[in-house]
Amino acid sequence: MDAKTAELLEAIGPRLRRLRRSRGLSLDGIARMTGLSISTLSRLETGHRQPTLDLLIPLARAFEISLDSLIAVPETGDPRVHLEPQRLVAGGVAVPLSRHPSRVQAFKHVLGPREEQLATHPGEAWIHVLAGRLRLIVGGEVHLIDPGDSVEFDAAIPHWFGPADGLSVEILHLFAPDGARSDTRRIP
């Protein structure tokens, strides 16, 4: 094993301990969440047990972080992009795809069943459905949007969106601040 890999593996145990403690969890609590024994977890944290995928995957799920974040693998791809899923108060998960608050903001959303609560704010919204079926309410009108379809609406009009069938829906959501409009061109 090369030195960089060994260094990466040695850092996992202390990272697991810091993560567990920062969330106020005991070894017993993590053991119950993951099905791993307290002994195994303790040995992982102290470096007396080498981390393997069958141990790390349940831990990543329990901590609700990606396996890459848990392991802290070296970044690949575009170093300016750091996708960090965020739990939404209204339900679901959003992954910010852009970081420019004054320009168009892009998000990937995975939404489960959620309470219908109409919202309004200045700006323009575009939604493209990737998977599942979207129920969109705009100005009191209900629209059902199928995978592969897109919609655009004025976010100042009372609106809400979520899954149409009580399961989940996966969407791309673009939001432009007040004054920005879409300039969509069709290329043959």
- Does 55 map to a domain? yes
Is there a single domain that holds both residue 172 and residue 93?
yes
**Per-residue pLDDT reduced to its tens digit, 75-112:** 555 544 556 777 777 777 877 777 665 577 888 888 88
Q: What is the Cα–Cα distance from 151 to 129, expressed in whole angstroms?
A: 9
Total structural domains within the chain: 2
Positive or negative CA dihedral for 152, 93, 146, 159? Answer: negative
Give the number of other Cβ atoms within 10 Å of residue 20's Cβ: 19
CATH of the domain at 18: 1.10.260.40
CA pair distance 121, 158, nearest whole angstrom: 8
The overall pTM is greater than 0.85: no
On the question of pLDDT at 15 being above 70, the answer is yes
Q: What is the pLDDT of residue 32?
A: 94
Q: Are residues 146 and 90 in the same domain?
A: yes
